[in-house]
Amino acid sequence: MSRILIVEDETIIRSALRRLLERHDYNVEDAASVDEATRQFNLNEFSLIISDLRLPGAPGTDLIDLAKAVPVVIMTSYASMRSAVDAMKLGAVDYIAKPFDHDEILETIANIIKLRGDAQPAKNNESESPASKNQMVGNCQPMQDLFKRIGKVARTDATVLIQGESGTGKELAARAIHQQSARADSPMVSVNCASIPETLIESELFGHEKGAFTGADNARSGLIEAADGGTLFLDEIGELPLEAQARLLRFLQEGEIRRVGAVHSKQVNVRLIAATHRNLKALAKSGGFREDLYYRLYVMELQMPPLRARGEDIIEIAQQFLQQSCQKLGSSLLQFSPDAHNTMLRYQWPGNVRELQNAIERAVILAEDHMITTDLLGLDIEPVSLASLESNYASGNSLVMNTSGEQIAERADSNLSLDDYFQRFVLENQEAMSETALAKKLGVSRKCLWERRQKLGIPRKPKK
């Protein structure tokens, strides 16, 4: 049961709000001031804090810093755009104007707690569902900003484009949007566009009529129809063939689909969320993706931060995966050694959260005592890694190879990015060098080189 703290100096409002929340199965505590709240309670033990803006002594916004990772909603009878913006800038997750509507405040609270991954109020003792184990967590600023944007866009039916490297949790973000939307009780259908053969993608998405093609022995509805009333999540949309892109564009423009081989169209009510690890804008300019579809998708963009940019979140996520792996494998609860802890923070995680999960499961399998060491994680750590290139580039220098294959520091061209330098070096040298030699000269592992090829779309040299 989620635990909520109300900080309000007006007794009538405080009591009324407490009764409202308790009727909806929340565990509620209250205080009349910031000072009383900090003296009586450990703020970190709450799922959510709801505070008036103007309180005797310190203002309610002081709780934002005091509560740290606990979300704070600010209430004010002095409702204005300026006070709302000021509260949000200080880190409040939302604000509520008094007198507030009961349904509105309950919906706001439910959305915030759901986003934070807390258990929802329940009247039974059913075991935790597997889906609840896969909630997004994160206290770093990029994730806090992401949570806020998800909360805002979830209230609309706007098309969303989620961008980020492979393994950063794009589907979890899509699911969070769906679960906080008005479509939460309707289906969410997830499709990985890269996993469906090009010849079948249109049939899978839009369905087909009997006899539409060889093997179409019966009429079949597509995945878009299956999501009618709910949400369609298209992962790796950059891999969608151009023909299917044209049909998808019509669906977005008209809200209707036509099965393969059909004459008549059918109206559907589907919210689209798309995701990709590729640069769709660059792909559109090169002709690999329809530009008109790109701008249709680009209504709201969410950027998933890579794991290496999330600081101490890495350890929080690792602890979560460690607990899950120990339960899954029937192992006693293990812990990370100090060295493993430091290594996880230093490592660049090219495979992001997915790589972290696999590394921890491997370590739990191999562990012979209660401690997980760096060796058990099996991370491919190079003495010189791509991180050094990124560090040099960020400081204004770029590591470039001379004709003897030695690394020399050169001032970066302001018009080229680190990825541009990486791509240029690989394309200029792959004819004369093996993958192992290329990786060595770049100071990365072969695995990291492969990951970068995938990210940047750098083709391998043709085999002779």
Contact 73, 49 (CB under 8 A): yes
What pLDDT sits at residue 132? 39
- Name the band, by pLDDT with cuts 50, 70 and 90, for residue 211: confident
Q: Among the listed ranges 119-128, 180-189, 232-241, 316-325, which one has the minimum average pLDDT value?
A: 119-128
Is the pLDDT assigned to residue 410 strictly greater than 70? no
Q: Domain for residue 129, yes or no?
A: no
What pLDDT sits at residue 293? 94
Residues 84 and 157 in one domain: no
- The residue ranking higher by pLDDT, 402 or 371, is 371
Residue 357 φ then ψ, to 5°: -60, -45
Range of the structural domain that residue 107 is part of: 3-116
Residues 186 and 225 in one domain: yes
- Name the band, by pLDDT with cuts 50, 70 and 90, for residue 403: very low
Q: Domain for residue 121, yes or no?
A: no
Residues 173 and 277 in one domain: yes
For the chain, percent of residues with pLDDT exceeding 90: 34
Report, as an integer, the average pLDDT of 435-445.
76
Q: Among the listed ranges 199-213, 360-374, 419-433, which one has the minimum average pLDDT value?
A: 419-433
Please give the torsion angle defined by the CA atoms of residues 102, 105, 111 and 117, in that order, rounded to the nearest 10 degrees. -100
- Name the band, by pLDDT with cuts 50, 70 and 90, for residue 291: very high
What pLDDT sits at residue 437? 80
Q: Domain for residue 335, yes or no?
A: yes
Q: Domain for residue 134, yes or no?
A: no
Residues 270 and 399 in one domain: no
For the chain, percent of residues with pLDDT exceeding 70: 82
What's 187's domain CATH number? Answer: 3.40.50.300
Contact 401, 413 (CB under 8 A): no
Amino acid code (one letter) for 201: I
- The residue ranking higher by pLDDT, 405 or 228, is 228
Q: Domain for residue 61, yes or no?
A: yes
Report, as an integer, the average pLDDT of 222-233.
90
Residues 293 and 312 in one domain: no
Q: End of a domain among 256, 276, 303?
A: 303
Q: What angle do CA 217, 220, 225 make, to 5 degrees?
A: 170
Is the pLDDT assigned to residue 294 strictly greater than 90? yes
Rounded to an integer, what distance in angstroms lies between the CA atom of residue 230 and that of residue 190?
11
Residues 196 and 296 in one domain: yes
Q: End of a domain among 251, 285, 303?
A: 303
What pLDDT sits at residue 203? 85
What pLDDT sits at residue 353? 93
Is the pLDDT assigned to residue 232 strictly greater than 50? yes
Rounded to an integer, what distance in angstroms lies between the CA atom of residue 210 and that of residue 230?
26
Is the pLDDT assigned to residue 147 strictly greater than 60? yes
For the chain, the average pLDDT equals 81
Q: Domain for residue 135, yes or no?
A: no
Residues 366 and 397 in one domain: no
Please give the C-alpha separations between residue 135 and each of 10, 103, 109, 147, 455, in angstroms, as whole numbers: 36, 25, 17, 12, 26
| pLDDT (tens digit per residue) in 148-185 | 999 999 989 999 999 999 999 999 999 999 999 999 88
What's 352's domain CATH number? Answer: 1.10.8.60
- The residue ranking higher by pLDDT, 428 or 279, is 279
Is the pLDDT assigned to residue 35 strictly greater than 90? yes
Q: Domain for residue 355, yes or no?
A: yes
Residues 318 and 181 in one domain: no
How many domains is the chain partitioned into structurally? 4
What pLDDT sits at residue 120? 40
Beta strand pairing call for 72-76 and 48-52 = parallel
Residues 187 and 52 in one domain: no
Residues 263 and 181 in one domain: yes
| pLDDT (tens digit per residue) in 346-401 | 898 999 999 999 999 999 999 988 899 988 998 876 544 445 555 555 554 444 44
Amino acid code (one letter) for 146: L
Q: End of a domain among 377, 400, 420?
A: 377
What pLDDT sits at residue 417? 57
Residues 369 and 445 in one domain: no
Report, as an integer, the average pLDDT of 300-304.
93
What pLDDT sits at residue 100? 73
What pLDDT sits at residue 130? 35
8-state DSSP, 118: P
Q: Domain for residue 136, yes or no?
A: no
What's 20's domain CATH number? Answer: 3.40.50.2300
Residues 299 and 397 in one domain: no
Q: Among the listed ranges 123-137, 140-154, 203-217, 252-266, which one has the minimum average pLDDT value?
A: 123-137
In the numeric block, the tokens 């798309």 are attached to: 274
Length of the chain: 464
What pLDDT sits at residue 362? 92
Report, as an integer, the average pLDDT of 120-127.
37
